[in-house]
């Protein structure tokens, strides 16, 4: 039996949720102003995930390439994902949606480009 306090991000109310956990399962949520709070707590306290957006270096250019994970990755893996993504080097031309890493840190998630870089550009 353990407890955690988190802030709901469902709306600007920002309800403080007191979440009771047992064996990694949510057994109770107090403080939620609406049903969305309980649903958020069940996801956030058991397996919080985030889409990671960051930058990749580009061969021969100062300006970096912006990338994102194609789906949310577990919050606990963000640091490892960032480290791996920062070792990638992109080669122009790049189109939006081009896959740079197929399976980042064994999460089953791709890292894709979010901008385009033409071949001749600096």
Partner 1 sequence: MTDIDTLIIGGGPAGLAAAVAAREAGCENLLLLERDEALGGILRQCIHTGFGLHVFKEELTGPEYAQRFADQVRALKIPVQCGTTVLDVTGERVVTAVSPQRGIQRFRARAIVLAMGCRERTRGALMIPGWRPAGVYTAGTAQRFVNLEGWMPGRRVVILGSGDIGLIMARRMTFEGAEVLACVELMPFSSGLTRNVVQCLDDYGIPLLLSHTVTEIHGRERVEGVTVAQVDAQRRPVPGSERRFACDTLLLSVGLIPENELSKAAGVALSPATSGAVVDEALQTSVPGLFACGNVLHVHDLVDHVSEEAARAGRSAAAYAQGTLGTQGTGLRVVDGPGVRGVVPQFVNAARLTDELTVMFRPAAVYRDASVVVRIGGEEILRKKQRILTPGEMVRLTVRREQVLPRAQGRELSVEVMP
63 binds partner 1 (CB under 8 A): yes
State the Cα–Cα distance between residues 55 and 85, nearest whole angstrom. Answer: 8
What the block records as the tokens of 78 is 């963000």
Contact window for partner 1 (CB under 8 A) among 22-30, 45-53, 100-108: 45-53
Among 20, 54, 70, 107, binds partner 1 (CB under 8 A): 54
Helix spans in the chain (H): 35-46, 78-85
State the Cα–Cα distance between residues 35 and 11, nearest whole angstrom. Answer: 12
Backbone angles phi, psi at 48, to 5 degrees: -65, 135
Whose Cβ is closer to partner 1: residue 8's or residue 104's? 8
71 binds partner 1 (CB under 8 A): no
Binding site for partner 1 (CB under 8 A): 6-9, 11-14, 33, 50-55, 57, 61-64, 66, 68, 75, 82, 96, 114-116
């Amino acid at each position: 039996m353990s407890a955690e306090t988190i802030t709901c991000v469902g709306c600007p109310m920002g309800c403080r949720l007191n979440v009771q956990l047992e064996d990694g399962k949510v057994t109770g949520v107090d403080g939620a102003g609406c049903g969305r709070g309980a649903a958020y707590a069940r996801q956030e306290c058991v397996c919080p995930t985030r889409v990671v957006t960051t930058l990749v270096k580009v061969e021969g250019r100062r300006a970096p390439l912006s990338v994102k994970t194609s789906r949310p990755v577990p919050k606990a893996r963000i640091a490892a994902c960032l480290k791996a993504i920062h070792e990638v080097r992109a080669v122009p031309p790049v189109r939006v949606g081009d896959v740079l890493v197929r399976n980042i840190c064994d999460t089953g998630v791709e890292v894709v480009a979010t901008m385009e870089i033409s071949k001749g550009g600096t």
